[in-house]
Structure 1
Amino acid sequence: MQQQPDKHHLHKAVVRKIPNFLTEEAFYHGFNVDLPIDFRYFVPGKTKERTDYSVAYFGFEQQKTLEQFIGKFNNFMIQDEKGKSYHLMVHRALFQSLPSLHNKRLHPLANTIHEQDDFKAFADKLTNKAPPLGAGEDPQSEDEQQPTIKNSKGRIAPLVQSIIEKKLNQGDKPRFGRGSQMQMQPKMKDKKKLIPTSQSSMGQYRVKPKSEY
């Protein structure tokens, strides 16, 4: 195909209602246009997002050629294998511009990740597997290996055992402080006050009820 002319100066036509079972190659092969075409573009109707009729755009330099194209192919009939007929709709595209076919300029860093030093270092780490844990170290004896918690055999971690022994050793020593004094001294509500029963019997005492406190 020759170099694309200025699309703003083309006379544009659109072909609608193209059956979606026709591919772009099949449509151009069966839709034989004996006219000088300066631009053409095909939009398939059957995609993953939708199922609709396909559309084709044509561009001509001459107004006369556009009119011949519309008169020849408007209401053009296409039949499928089952004999069903499809009639094309061809008209002038007054307000539709043709898409640009120029290749878009790629970013200078596109597809260059494999050349970056950081990516190469990362790829080397994935290729070279790390040594297993504990490799190159002296194996500890069975007594030096400290279990974190009591295991199924009933063995207790040395740290836990030392805490238990420290608590047991502190149990025989007297405890001082606010908490120990409160335990040794009974509370006031538990004390029973004894008062004399009468002046004649000074040696007899009774328990003072709470209402007389």
Structure 2
Amino acid sequence: MKVRIEWIYRTLKGTETSFSSENMNASKALLIAEDLEKSGRVGAISFIDSHDTALSIKELRKYLQGIQTEPHNVTVYFDGGFDIKTHSSGLGCAIYYEQNGKFFRLRRNALVEELSSNNEAEYAAIHLSIQELELLGVHHLPVTFIGDSQVVINQLNDTWPVLEEELARWADRIDEHLERLGITPELEVVSRKKNREADKLATQALNGIEITSTVELTEQ
């Protein structure tokens, strides 16, 4: 979960002003807030999440303690590719998450035959990642989904209309799956260069190379 910190600063003579931080991971925000408290010049501190819900330090600390044993701070990179010659699609996803104080990366790809366009392959790729999240036990958390398809990201964000019937079915399927898991999606478009890992996984799937792996990372 990402939050921003809002706090009141008070000078030695009693003059007060308010500050607001950028959005950051909740664990980082808690560390900063605890350090601010040590200054002795900070009044009320609150954390504001993506739904504009305010949490106190005590409430955020309790929340973080409750999710430590489950996958959290989840970021998903996804990509889909379509080979018009063979009518095959390669799907790829890389999922980064934290659990029990450790950082992990899950990589998964798949080759499918029943799709008919690159946009449909992109939808199928994000759906593949959601299936992997369910297997991981991710639920009732915000999850960041990152891809290079403006069509998929903007349609799922309701920024662009979904005119194609097949894509509309994919969008509905994804929305229903996310709602069932209690996952709040935070969708972000990046360049293909910044989505290189998921793109490579999709290409490997098209080349018949199957990838399924989970590794512990030395750092996030």
TM over 0.5: no
Greater helix proportion: 2
Of Structure 1 and Structure 2, the greater strand share is in 2
TM-score bracket relative to the smaller structure: under 0.3
Q: For the pair shown, which has the larger CA radius of gyration, 1 or 2?
A: 1
Greater relative contact order (CA < 8 Å, ≥ 6 in sequence): 2
TM-score using structure 2 length: 0.21
